[in-house]
Amino acid sequence: MFTWYRPLDSRIEVFTPFEELLGKLNTENIEYHLMGDMNCDMIADCYDNDTQELKALADIYGIKQLINEATRITPTSGTLIELIYTNTPDKIVCSGVKHISISDHSLVFTYRKLSINASSNGHNTIIYRDFRNFNRKNFRNDIASLNWDVMYNSSNPNEMWFHWKSKFLTTVDKHARMK
């Protein structure tokens, strides 16, 4: 799994390292998923040069974009700029968008098929989240009530990701414990 952020005002050359990554992944013949805010609107009536470049790279390397509805919604527009690409779309159960009102960017997700092989001694340990008593409304309320200021006060994306992930997983653990 790889993530990529392409700044809105970046030059077309930003695609060079992205293409190099795709080429390396392609030669290694491994399954991969690329996701991120790529700032290329895949539902625009007319594609700009950057979006055309991204679509061309996807075609060259045979990767499929899984998201098909607007991911950034404002009062006057909707764009599909948060994208998920994979070279193994047959292994994907479903994918989509969740509008959770933390920002004007929505959450994108994908579920991958899993298979569990029996262990050699006949015993398996499976760790999973218990969603039997999960209450979606309470979870959303808890997420919405979190103080996200620490993220907005940082300019370091790695630090922002760490804080977001920590807050999110703490809340998930409260509502769906690991078993």
Q: In the chain, what are the domains? A: 1-115 (3.60.10.10), 124-179 (no CATH)
Give the chain's mean pLDDT.
Answer: 88
pLDDT confidence band for 119 (50 / 70 / 90): low
Q: What is the pLDDT of residue 121?
A: 64
Residue 57 · residue 14 · CB < 8 Å: no
Q: What is the mean pLDDT of residues 58-70?
A: 95
Whole-model pTM over 0.85: no
pLDDT confidence band for 131 (50 / 70 / 90): confident
pLDDT confidence band for 156 (50 / 70 / 90): confident
pLDDT confidence band for 137 (50 / 70 / 90): very high
- Other beta carbons within 10 angstroms of residue 104's beta carbon come to 14
Residue 20 · residue 57 · CB < 8 Å: no
How many residues are listed for the chain in this entry? 179
Residue type at position 58: A
Percent of the chain beyond pLDDT 70? 96
Residue 100 · residue 142 · CB < 8 Å: no
CA distance 169 to 179: 15
